[in-house]
Amino acid sequence: MAEFVFDPPLLLAPDATIRTLSEAMDYVRGCATVRRPHMQAGVLRALSAARSDDQQRLAAKGFRLWVETEGFIC
Torsions phi, psi of 47, nearest 5?
-65, -40
- pLDDT at residue 1 is higher than 70: no
The mean pLDDT value of the chain amounts to: 95
The predicted-structure confidence for 34-58, as pLDDT tens digits, reads as follows 999 999 999 999 999 999 999 999 9
- What local confidence, expressed as pLDDT, does residue 2 receive? 84
CB under 8 A, 24+ apart: contacts of 35-39:
35/69, 35/70, 36/66, 36/69, 36/70, 39/66, 39/69
- pLDDT at residue 11 is higher than 70: yes
pTM given for the model: 0.93
- What local confidence, expressed as pLDDT, does residue 7 receive? 95
DSSP designation for 73: B
